[in-house]
Amino acid sequence: MGCLAMVDRYTQRFFTQVSLLKPHHICKSLNLCQPPLHSQGNCDACHDTVSQLLPKLKDPQTKLKIIRLLLKECKSLNNYEDKFLTLI
């Protein structure tokens, strides 16, 4: 599967998954909010950070920026693929 096809196929799935994420689940999966190891400060800092990050990832302008970056990387990878094929 080519890079552009992967971007086309998986970006919507990625954004759908992001929309389902909850700060508590992310911080818990990072082992920042599980007793007896968790420090309340680390847990609170994680919740604050994730709570600020998730809305940005749901913002249409941020989504567009992410897609543009992915497409730019695809173009870069295609250039390398062309160079590689000429070497063979």
Domains parsed from the chain with CATH numbers: 3-87 (1.10.225)
Position 87 pLDDT exceeds 70: no
Angle ∠(17,20,22) on CA atoms, nearest 5: 125
| pLDDT value, residue 83 | 58
Cα-flanking dihedrals φ and ψ of residue 6, to 5°? -65, -40
| pLDDT value, residue 37 | 56
Note the pLDDT tens digit of each residue in 29-82. Answer: 998 887 765 567 889 999 999 999 999 999 999 999 999 999 999 988 876 666
